[in-house]
Amino acid sequence: MQFFFENWLELTGVISGLLCVWLLIKEHVLTFPIGMLYASVTVFVVARALLYADVVLNLYYVLMNAYGWYYWVYGGKQLRASQGELLPQRLARSTLIRLLAITLIGSIIMGFYFARYTQADMAYVDSLTTIASFVAMWMSARKLLSSWVAWFVIDVVQIGLYIVKGMNANPGLFLYAGLYGVYLLMAVWGWLQWRKRMAE
């Protein structure tokens, strides 16, 4: 019980994170305000663990959740006009190539900066998951089916990152490793649900 009292912030992040992804799978717009809560809490959790790229990532999540909220409610007008509602979309191959290039180059640049100029731990791995998550969050905000594939890959890496950091510095990060384990399963579920919606 003491573990939970000592790690209440991590628990708040885990609960709001699970709710956020569940609402995303269900295509419910409340995913975005809950996502803003999750990201705000997580900024403090990862800052204590010296995962500075994750701090930047979660600040970005706050902004992208605001964007996604707006886009799902007011954006995508041409798609709404043809479909009546904003359904999940496929990602163009040319866009995929650009997004992969952004992820690779951005990860190298951010990793170099954090490794050289900060006390960041695991700077390149942390930067890879951060830049990939920037891209995946944009994809989710645009309601792109392949966002779930991106989240699946990111979740696998994040699980390892949080386990290593949990063993070395902050046992509360084991809660986040567990959260990303659930996210992994939810990414599969989300992909199946959105693909089914596209086929309707």
pLDDT in tens for each of the 200 residues of the chain? 665 566 788 889 989 999 999 999 999 999 999 999 999 999 998 888 888 888 988 999 999 999 999 988 887 665 554 556 778 889 999 999 999 999 999 999 999 999 999 888 889 998 999 999 999 999 999 999 999 999 999 999 999 988 887 777 677 778 888 889 999 999 999 999 999 988 87
| Residue 70: count of CB within 10 angstroms of its CB | 13
Q: Which residue has the tokens 């650009």?
A: 98
186 Cβ contact partners less than 8 Å away, ≥ 6 residues apart: 18, 21, 22, 25
Q: Tokens in use for 199?
A: 């086929």
Q: 3-class SS at 121?
A: coil
Residue count of the chain: 200
Q: Which of 91, 96, 85 is nearest to 191 (CA)?
A: 91
Burial 156-170 (b: 16+ CB within 10 A, else e): bbbbebbbebbeeeb
Amino acid of residue 166: G
**pTM summary value:** 0.84
What pLDDT, on the 0 to 100 scale, is given for residue 83? 56
Give tens-digit pLDDT for 114-153: 999 988 888 999 899 999 999 999 999 999 999 999 999 9
Q: How far is CA 103 from the centre of its chain?
A: 14
